[in-house]
């Protein structure tokens, strides 16, 4: 499935593999897909999948009745070497003035070996 949604006034192309479409069709509740752009010592892109939206800050956009997508720029209070080793400190939302400038152009979602996988990009 290929579709588009609008986040922060910017179009986002979404590609779902057939495996992802099949896994979504089995769901009773929406899967929340979060595109996280992490600002700290380095910039990191990561796609996170959440089973429920009850404890998530911010809004998500419905792709359909089983998939919602959100963009979340985050940062840390300080920069530590531990972050690079994979032990990230608690995150806080990054107050981006023009969020549309940072919203990705595309998002790809797959489901392999019982795990959701995703990537996003700007070109």
pTM: 0.81
Residue 31, beta-bridge partner list: 67
Q: What is the pLDDT along the chain (123 residues), one digit of tens a residue?
A: 899 999 999 999 999 999 999 999 999 999 999 999 988 777 789 999 998 766 676 789 999 999 999 999 888 766 665 545 556 566 777 778 888 899 999 999 999 999 999 999 998
What phi and psi values does residue 8 have, to the nearest 5 degrees? 55, 35
């Amino acid at each position: 499935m290929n579709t588009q949604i609008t986040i922060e006034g910017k179009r986002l192309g979404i590609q779902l593999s057939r495996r992802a479409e099949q896994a979504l069709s089995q769901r009773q509740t929406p899967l929340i897909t979060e595109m996280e752009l992490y600002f700290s010592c380095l910039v990191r892109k990561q796609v996170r999948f959440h089973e429920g939206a009850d404890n998530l800050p911010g809004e998500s956009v419905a792709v359909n009745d089983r998939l919602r997508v959100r963009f979340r720029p985050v940062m840390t209070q300080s920069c530590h070497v531990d972050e690079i080793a994979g032990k990230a400190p608690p995150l806080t939302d990054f107050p981006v003035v023009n969020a549309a400038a940072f919203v990705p152009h595309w998002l790809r979602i797959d489901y392999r070996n019982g795990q959701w996988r995703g990537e996003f990009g700007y070109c």
